[in-house]
Amino acid sequence: MAEGVLLITGASRGIGAATAILAGRAGYHVVVNYVGNQAAAETVAGTIASAGGRASVVQGDVGSEADILRMFAHADAQGRLAGLVNNAGVVDLSARVDEMSLERLERMMRINIIGSIVCAREAVKRLSTMHGGEGGGIVNLSSAAAKLGAPANYVDYASAKGAIDTFTVGLAKEVAAEGIRVNAIRPGIIATDIHASGGQPDRVAEMEASLPMKRAGTAEECAKAILWLLSDEASYTTGAILDVSGARAILP
């Protein structure tokens, strides 16, 4: 059984919620972060508790350092941190680069890149044997978009996820001798609310026929990969970026 506290950002819906439910089953005390949807976060925590697991809920915007510090203080109050899943992420409406406002770009980078790096910073302070910690795991959420570039859709988002790939490799090397493994998954088209939030509610249905497996992936399929990367089964896997894309984007 897994032990300790696992903080999952953006765990009220989608991939984060599926990861939280599996993590609860695996034995972690799951900290379910959300930004606006408290009811959904409470439902995830309730699902974990009714299966005999432990979970708590914390509001916080990963675009805010103050909120991140508060989220980690909440996690500390639950017990020893064992890991972090940097899952919270956003897309914006389809646009060309020559249509993107500075405000949009700053939001995209603040939530998708800086938020993940600041969360990882706080996790390393707690997990690193150099700081008296017992080690642990960090899993970042990249995207197949990092390889595909997402032209005329959201090159800004794709670029942010490219940064997550580089961050994963760099941090993995930086803390490899300190008991921390840092990995990422690169989901392809996964059936969650994110497509509707980018103004494309029918994206999954429209794309399925063109996908190599003729279907989108599920949040649970991503969650299983994340839980494996966190587990001792992956004890020599660090700095890895695992494609969970049904072969959508497997070329470098």
Query: Mind telling me the catalytic residues?
Result: 157
Binding flag, residue 71, ligand NAP (CB under 6 A):
no
Nearer to ligand NAP (CB atom), residue 7 or residue 189: 189
Q: Which of 24, 63, 137, 246 binds ligand NAP (CB under 6 A)?
A: 63
Query: Is there a contact between 130 and 176 (Cβ–Cβ < 8 Å)?
Result: no
Helix (H) or strand (E) holding 24: helix 14-26
Query: Is there a contact between 16 and 45 (Cβ–Cβ < 8 Å)?
Result: no
Nearer to ligand NAP (CB atom), residue 197 or residue 237: 197
User: What size, in residues, is the chain?
Assistant: 252
Q: Strand, helix or coil at 85? A: strand
The residues near 4 (Cβ < 8 Å, ≥ 6 apart) are 28, 29, 79, 80, 81, 82, 83, 136
Residues in region 89-148 near ligand NAP by CB under 6 A = 89-90, 111, 141, 143
Q: Which of 6, 7, 31, 40 binds ligand NAP (CB under 6 A)?
A: 40
Query: Is there a contact between 187 and 222 (Cβ–Cβ < 8 Å)?
Result: yes
In the block, which residue shows the tokens 């008991």?
179
Q: Which of 7, 139, 194, 229 binds ligand NAP (CB under 6 A)?
A: 194
Binding flag, residue 43, ligand NAP (CB under 6 A):
no
Binding flag, residue 168, ligand NAP (CB under 6 A):
no
> How far is Cα 114 from Cα 228, in angstroms, rounded to an integer?
25
Nearer to ligand NAP (CB atom), residue 43 or residue 237: 43
Positions touching ligand NAP (CB under 6 A) are 9-16, 33-37, 40, 61-63, 87-90, 111, 141, 143, 187, 189-190, 192-194, 197, 219
